[in-house]
Amino acid sequence: MAPLHIPAEMDNKDFLQKTAREHKLESKQLPNGVKELTMHIGDHTYPVYLGYNKLPELVGELKKLDLDKVFLGYDEMTAKHCGHRLEAELSKQGIAFERHVMGLTEAAKTVSTLDGVLETFLKMGGSRKTVMMPVGGGIVSNTYGLAAGLLFRGIRLVQVPTSFLNAHDAASSSQKQAVNHAGYKNIVGLYHCPTMVLVDTSFYASLGKSQMKAGLGELTKNAALFGGVHHELMKRTVAVKGYQLSGEDLVEATFTGIAAKDMLLKLDPREKHIALLFEYGHTIGHALELTEGTVTSHGEGVAIGMLGASFIANKMGIMSDADRAEHDQLIEWLDPEILLPERDITAEVLDKVLHDNKRGYIPEKEGHAPFILNKRIGEMHYPNIYYLEYVPVPLVQQAIEYVVERMRKRGYDADPAKDGTPKATTRRAAKPLKRHPSSFVYGDDLPEAKVAKTLEKAVTSEHTISMRAPDKF
Ligand SMILES: NC(=O)c1ccc[n+]([C@@H]2O[C@H](COP(=O)([O-])OP(=O)(O)OC[C@H]3O[C@@H](n4cnc5c(N)ncnc54)[C@H](O)[C@@H]3O)[C@@H](O)[C@H]2O)c1
């Protein structure tokens, strides 16, 4: 495998802040009121058309493609909530279409579902000129996106994300398409970029509270990572209005979320180094999400995980008390929720943290777990180019205890989900899915010299001095 190329200018603690300050998402306002954004993944670009209540205009953009028909891919929920309006508009504009509906959960994101998609596509007369159009959340985007990459060795893919999370996640800003197999998550897949992405924030209207907070969790994380416009957005929206934002607010929020992805995926298209920063908050958040008996959305889990990360950064002397208070304020605005089982889950969560997928980016260190840490809003702790710090396991345990206790005090309000929107638990696979060990980059893929250099730097940096201090925990 070719060694990973990391440009030298990125190996610099000021690089991220400078990039965040200077980055501007290429965009223009079209005369019909739709925003046209240019998403970059490495050198590759594609347009994202974004608007509120702009379905006729968005379908108008689709119509400009030379196509014979559209193959619509839904799940049961998006077929119900979004299918009618979209199909009426396609018919109105004379675009032929076929449809396929898959199941709702991770358990449906399988090779056999994929097989059904491929077969239906071919039986319905799909051709090279047919456009694959997933309509929904990340499960739908990934499954039909993979089918698009395989059919005729790649047909055009037009993503239509209908959840707030997916609008700046799997659909708008990723070329990674995959399904689960043999108990492993996202193990059968490929890279296939969309030809275009169509986002109408009016589709978000049928999402429940936890789905909205899931998307806003992503923006909460961006505010901590990059500060600036990302922090300002949260002050103007979630801080004053909570999760119930207007369609126009959601256009701005989706724009800002996509801008963050554009900034880092342009530099790191395979998400192997600087784009790993999007994993901030995931280490404890994801472990909590995967613990038996918990109920939360992915974005809320990440925001809760950020509370654990700031606890750790503060104890390690990386983040001051005042900076921690400002950081945690972001999460308080979002007010994430998690239903926790009554039993003590500390050991289970810790075990999941120790098997986190950031293992392997830097060499293992006995008694420590790698964490991405924040110094203050808009400034990440930089011990090496992967932004990964070794945290002593007893301190991780304290952070888990702190977060669990804090969330127990907050309590959990049942999600008044709209019209049967699935809750987090029902979206999980029946059996927990694992990450395959080869998903970790450590090995051939790791630029040895670069890591050696950055770790050597970590060993002599001020952070390593503060890193040793917590051995008392
Ligand atoms: N390719 C990538 O880079 C990438 C990135 C992130 C996540 N993912 C994948 O995405 C998946 C998670 O996505 P998800 O689908 O659970 O999350 P999601 O938040 O995108 O969708 C959640 C649920 O909301 C429902 N929904 C969507 N739009 C709706 C609407 N307008 N009204 C009512 N309900 C609506 C969907 O039916 C779905 O069940 C995972 O499998 C993950 O691997 C991929």
What is the C-alpha to C-alpha distance for residues 186 and 434, in angstroms, rounded to an integer? 9
So what's the pLDDT on residue 466? 31
Distance CA 243, CA 261 (A): 21
The answer to whether the beta carbons of residues 280 and 331 sit under 8 Å apart is no
Compute how many other C-beta atoms are within 10 angstroms of the C-beta atom of residue 352: 20
CA distance 343 to 291: 11
d(Cα 117, Cα 99) in Å, to the nearest integer? 10
Each residue's pLDDT tens digit, 123-154:
999 999 999 999 999 999 999 999 999 999 99
Task: Assess if CATH 3.40.50.720 describes domain 32-208.
Answer: no
Task: Specify the ligand 1 atom closest to the Cα of 418.
Answer: 33
- Summarize pLDDT for 78-121 with one digit per residue, the tens: 999 999 999 999 999 999 999 999 999 899 999 999 999 999 99
**Phi and psi for 68 in degrees, rounded to 5?**
-95, -40
Encoded tokens for 358: 């950031």
Residue identified by tokens 């899931």 is 214
Question: How many whole angstroms from 298 Cα to the centroid of ligand 1?
Answer: 10
Single pTM value for the model: 0.88
**CB-CB contact of 452 with 131 (8 Å):** no
Instruction: Return the half-sphere exposure (C-beta side, CA atoms, 13 A cut-off) of residue 409.
Output: 5
157 forms bridges with which residues in the sheet?
132
Residues in the chain with pLDDT < 70? 1-5, 357-360, 414-432, 436-473
According to CATH, where is 1.20.1090.10 located in the chain?
Answer: 271-416+443-472
Nearest to 149 by CA among 190, 202, 179: 190
Contact assessment for residue 58 and residue 198, using Cβ atoms and an 8 Å cutoff: yes
Contact 280, 374 (CB under 8 A): yes
Query: Please, how many CA atoms are within 13 Å of residue 148, restricted to the half-sphere of its CB?
Result: 29
Distance CA 172, CA 77 (A): 20
Q: Which CA distances in Å does 61 have to 67, 74, 196, 332, 344?
A: 12, 20, 9, 39, 53
**Which residues of the chain does CATH 3.40.50.1970 include?**
32-208
Distance CA 299, CA 288 (A): 12
* Ligand 1 pocket, residues with Cβ under 6 angstroms: 75, 77-78, 81-82, 104, 106, 109, 136-139, 142, 162-163, 165-166, 169-170, 174, 176, 186, 203, 206-207, 211, 214, 421-422, 427
Pick the CATH number of 271-416+443-472 from 3.30.300.30, 3.30.465.10, 3.40.50.620, 1.20.1090.10: 1.20.1090.10
The pick from 163, 187, 423 for probing ligand 1's pocket by mutation, whose C-beta has the most ligand atoms within 8 angstroms, reads 163
